[in-house]
Amino acid sequence: MNKMDLIAAVADQTDLPKAKATEVVDAVLSAIEGALKRKEEVRLVGFGSFATAVRKASTGRNPRTGEEIKIEASNSVRFKPGKALKDAVN
């Protein structure tokens, strides 16, 4: 499922026009993104939680040459599914 499929599903389930469903989906994604930028955790009870995590700098190897390379520290987003989502998928 891509973003357009999600918008179509929201429009079908809520009887909203696709233009309005697009605004709703964009607003939800924007709110999640904004909270993560502020280093806040986003918990959607029954669905899961999004949080930022810091990856420490490390060294790795170029698989082609075997040469050691430095991997810089970075921020990433982690998702932990909730119990209801796990149960629905199984």
> Which pTM does this prediction carry?
0.79
Residue 24: band (very low, low, confident or very high) from pLDDT cuts 50, 70, 90? very high
26-75 tens-digit pLDDT: 999 999 999 999 999 999 999 999 999 999 999 999 999 999 999 999 99
pLDDT score of 20? 97
Across the beta sheet with 48-55, the strand order is 42-44, 48-55, 74-81
Strand partners, 43: 49
Decide: helix, strand or coil at residue 24.
helix
In this structure, which CATH number among 3.40.50.1820, 3.30.930.10, 4.10.520.10, 3.30.2320.50 belongs to the domain 41-90?
4.10.520.10
Query: Cβ distance 44 to 81 under 8 Å?
Result: no
pLDDT score of 58? 95
